[in-house]
Amino acid sequence: MKTRKTILIVDNNSGLENLVREPLSDRFRDSNVAPIVVRAKDGAEAAIKTENQKFDVVLIDTEVPRLMDGGFVYGLHSYKNTQDANLIVVTQKESSELPDTLQSCVLLKKPINPDELVNAMVKCLNQGAPAPASAAPAAATSPQAKYAVDVRVINAVIKATMNVFAQFGVQNITMGKPETKSPHDALKGEISSVVEIKSQSYQGYLAISFDKASYLEVVSTMLMEEQTELNAENQDAVGEINNIIFGNAKSEITNFGVQLTVPKVLIGADSMIECKQGSAGMLIPFSTTKGHFYLKVIAVPVGK
């Protein structure tokens, strides 16, 4: 009886799938391995496909839409169905330009040599998955920990954040490169709002954290009065900002079976989110004309 090995190919034009599907079938015809190919056209679809299916190999073209600017590649070692997968990355970028979660991959530079690609996939399918070098350190000390991140929720919150702040009149909002961060690090902003969030495939926390300049910029437009200092009269507005953002994202995230708590306001540059040992974290920085704010995502380990 053959062992099924499932491959996720993230490619928006079927080019990679066409290169490997038939050669892989031929190479494994007389073996005990049966390769199964699944394709996703972008990062968002890849995240959806990884919710209910485990993958042994993930082949990624870094040029596909909604991949490098979304949450999918930054949580590859956190998603329960890809955290043990071998990664093959096809790119025009240098290794140093790739996020940490792709540093332990098999890297193939474009233009692709089809034989080299097929050989790399055969090697991955014939071996057990290595422990990713860039996996969250806590996972090494808690091997039973499993994470599930619903990237659709994160992307919906990012989009809502950008839209709400634009409506408030905040100028030149730019999203920076998401990066893996310890969930036990202090929040980077001086005033933050935290919600606990649960869905069918995610359990953890989302925090929106502002430095003083960006918060005063946002709250001034929200209250329609110039604010020059953080004080008792304006600090509660951070929770309302969070409510407005999640209200705007509600039309999308409600469809994902999401449950949210009431936002909790944290004051101070060294505020912490208490979470279980073995949790994983990701930080998404934003900048405005006047300052910076941050979206911190924490995934709490859940059972299989």
Q: What is the dihedral of CA 143, 145, 146, 149, to 10 degrees?
A: -130
Cα separation, 199 vs 179, whole angstroms: 23
CB 293 within 8 A of CB 215: yes
Q: What is this structure's pTM?
A: 0.55
What's CA 13's distance to the chain center, in Å?
Answer: 23
Homologous superfamily of 151-299 in CATH? CheC-like (3.40.1550.10)
Pairing of strands 259-260, 280-287: unpaired
DSSP string, 157-176: HHHHHHHHHHHHT----EE-
Mean pLDDT, residues 213-217:
89
Res 2: pLDDT: 81
- C-alpha 105/C-alpha 85 separation (Å) is 10
pLDDT, one tens digit per residue, over 230-274 is: 888 888 888 888 888 888 887 777 766 777 777 788 888 888 888
The confidence score (pLDDT) of residue 117 equals 93
Instruction: Give CA–CA dist 113/225, Å, rounded.
Output: 60
Half-sphere exposure of 112 (CA within 13 A, CB side): 23
Superfamily covering domain 3-135? Response regulator (3.40.50.2300)
Is residue 252 a contact partner of residue 152, using CB atoms and an 8 Å limit?
A: yes
The tokens for 135 are: 């996996």
Q: What is the pLDDT of residues 149-176, one digit of tens each?
A: 566 777 788 888 888 888 887 878 888 8
Beta bridge partners of 91: 109
- Sequence ranges of the chain with CATH classification 3.40.50.2300: 3-135
Residues of the chain with CATH 3.40.1550.10: 151-299
